[in-house]
């Protein structure tokens, strides 16, 4: 079991998908860069958050202990300039959604199986010069 192999599948596939967009979109990985690329009003980027809220499951049978099951959570935040319409943001969200849905096939040994995807939810409150949509989903994996 390796959290790194799970993270690698998700990050690699999403990075490739965002690089394939026209123009390519920067993907910000966790604990790599504190400041997102471009902080001006014309910046455009995606922040990826992966976490592992639980790794075991209780079982109903009294004689058994836990069983290993890695459950994760993925959150993708897409940022694009305000007042320029939702098209670009929704395209970025669609790339995230379609990529998440192909993760299982991307590496069957790791078997990242994404559950119900929430979003894209538009968050427009606050004083950030960029508009944002967010998608999130649970997943299970073998690692």
Partner 1 sequence: MAKGLDLSGYYEKLEKAIDQSFSEYLQLTQGDLFAAAPVDTGRLASSFYISKDTPDLTARSEDWTGLQMKEYPGKITADGKWYIANGVKYSHRVATDPIYGKGGRVGGAAWYTNITTQLKQTHDKRLKINLRKIK
Smallest gap from Cβ 11 to partner 1, in A, equals 15
End-to-end CA distance of the chain: 5
Q: Which is nearer to partner 1, 20 or 54 (CB)?
A: 54
Q: Can you give the binding site for partner 1, defined by CB under 8 A?
A: 36, 47, 49-51, 53-54, 57-60, 62, 71, 73, 75, 77, 115, 118, 121, 123, 125-126, 128, 132, 134, 136-138
Based on CB atoms, which residue is closest to partner 1, 14 or 134?
Answer: 134
- Please, what sign has the CA dihedral across residues 54, 56, 58, 59? positive
- Could you tell me the smallest distance in angstroms from the CB atom of residue 58 to partner 1? 6
Query: CA-CA distances (angstroms) from residue 68 to 73, 90, 110?
Result: 16, 36, 14
């Amino acid at each position: 079991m390796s959290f790194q192999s799970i993270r690698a599948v998700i990050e690699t596939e999403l990075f490739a998908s965002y690089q394939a967009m026209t123009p390519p979109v920067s993907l910000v990985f966790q604990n790599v860069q504190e400041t997102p690329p471009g902080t001006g009003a014309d910046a455009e980027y995606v922040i990826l958050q992966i976490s592992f809220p639980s790794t075991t499951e209780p079982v109903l049978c009294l004689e058994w202990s836990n069983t290993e099951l890695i459950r994760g959570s993925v959150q993708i935040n897409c940022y694009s300039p305000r007042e320029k319409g939702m098209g670009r943001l929704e395209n970025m969200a669609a790339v995230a959604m379609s990529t998440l849905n192909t993760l299982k096939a991307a590496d069957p040994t790791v078997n990242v199986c994404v559950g119900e995807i929430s979003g894209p939810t538009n968050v427009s409150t606050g004083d950030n010069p960029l508009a944002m949509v967010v998608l999130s989903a649970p997943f299970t994996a073998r690692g």
